[in-house]
């Protein structure tokens, strides 16, 4: 079956612009996670969805970052007024249930965001 | 603050030699522990996980890890590595009752012929 997919695979934008990054989780997975991975670092947690609601958004760095999952499937990470420091690979993962943290997370290939 | 430390950023090793990748986490409270692998140009893939029970956990591709609560460690081992094991390895922790996965900075394993 299909894994987690993310679009676009690469995004180049200019400082100050708005970007949207899309994640399609594995069908039937109720939990969805966003991470940011900077060069030479491990993934950094941003936000976790259980169904349509954000159960934990404590990792979002500031109010320029926002994520939605309106129908409990596809999620969009939105970044306003992009800054050069936002350049990173943005990873999405999904898991079947996710209510306990025990479930395996399946990762997508990531979107590489470059802010010029 | 909760954190995961991977003590080696790079580990070069010859093919068929044993390897240990070290991982320590910051708190002794109840945790779930994971090792993920990222092969070149591929996404993160779960290698193994510790949830409870036996402290020795076996994963895919011949890897195993041992949970040591007193030392807050979860080191990854393989008795004989292959060229195909060349990849980036990430240790991660979830504190029970939470959802946030905290990753280490990664260890690049480079297996030489």
Extract the tokens encoding B112.
Answer: 């030489």
- Smallest CA–CA distance, residue B99 to chain A, in Å, is 5
Residues of chain A found within 8 Å of residue B94, distances taken between Cβ atoms: 101
Does any CB of chain B come closer than 8 Å to the CB of residue A97?
A: no
Residue A6, pLDDT score: 96
pLDDT by 10s per residue, chain B, length 113? 789 999 999 999 999 999 999 999 987 678 899 999 999 888 899 999 999 888 999 999 999 999 999 999 999 999 999 999 999 999 999 987 778 899 999 999 999 99
Residue A98, pLDDT score: 67
Count how many pairs of residues, chain A against chain B, have C-beta atoms within 8 Å.
61
Which residue on chain B is closest to A6 by alpha carbon? B43
Is the Cβ–Cβ distance between A103 and A32 less than 8 Å?
no
Dihedral sign, Cα of residue B101, residue A109, residue A37, residue A31: negative
Does any CB of chain B come closer than 8 Å to the CB of residue A25?
A: no
Q: Quick: pLDDT tens for A62-96.
A: 999 999 999 999 999 999 999 999 999 999 999 98
* pLDDT: which is higher, A12 or A97: A12
Extract the tokens encoding A39.
Answer: 């060069």
Residue A33 has pLDDT above 90, yes or no: yes
Chain B interface mutation, best of A43, A44, A47, A50, highest count of B Cβ atoms under 10 Å: A43
Quick check: A41 and B106 CB within 8 A? yes
Quick check: B90 and A105 CB within 8 A? no
Does any CB of chain A come closer than 8 Å to the CB of residue B40?
A: no
Q: Output DSSP code: residue B1.
A: -
Quick check: B43 and A104 CB within 8 A? no
């Amino acid at each position: 079956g299909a894994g987690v997919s993310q679009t676009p695979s690469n995004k180049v934008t200019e400082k100050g612009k708005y970007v949207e990054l899309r994640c399609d989780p594995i069908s039937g997975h109720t939990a969805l996670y966003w991470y940011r991975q900077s060069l030479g670092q491990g993934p950094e947690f941003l936000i976790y969805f259980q169904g349509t609601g954000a159960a934990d958004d404590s990792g979002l760095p500031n109010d320029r970052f926002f994520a939605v999952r309106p129908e409990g499937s596809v999620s969009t990470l939105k970044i306003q007024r992009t800054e050069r420091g936002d350049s990173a690979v943005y990873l999405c993962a999904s898991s079947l249930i996710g209510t306990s943290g025990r479930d395996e997370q399946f990762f997508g290939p990531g979107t590489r965001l470059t802010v010029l | 603050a909760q954190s995961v430390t991977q003590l080696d950023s790079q580990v070069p090793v010859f093919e068929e030699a044993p390897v240990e990748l070290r991982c320590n986490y910051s708190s002794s409270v109840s945790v779930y522990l994971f090792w993920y692998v990222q092969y070149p140009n591929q996404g993160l893939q779960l290698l193994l996980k510790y949830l409870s029970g036996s402290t020795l956990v076996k994963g895919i591709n011949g890897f195993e890890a041992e949970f040591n609560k007193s030392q807050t460690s979860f080191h990854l081992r393989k008795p004989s590595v292959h060229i195909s094991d060349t990849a980036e390895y990430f240790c991660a922790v979830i504190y029970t009752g939470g959802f946030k996965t905290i990753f280490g900075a990664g260890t690049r394993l480079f297996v030489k012929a």
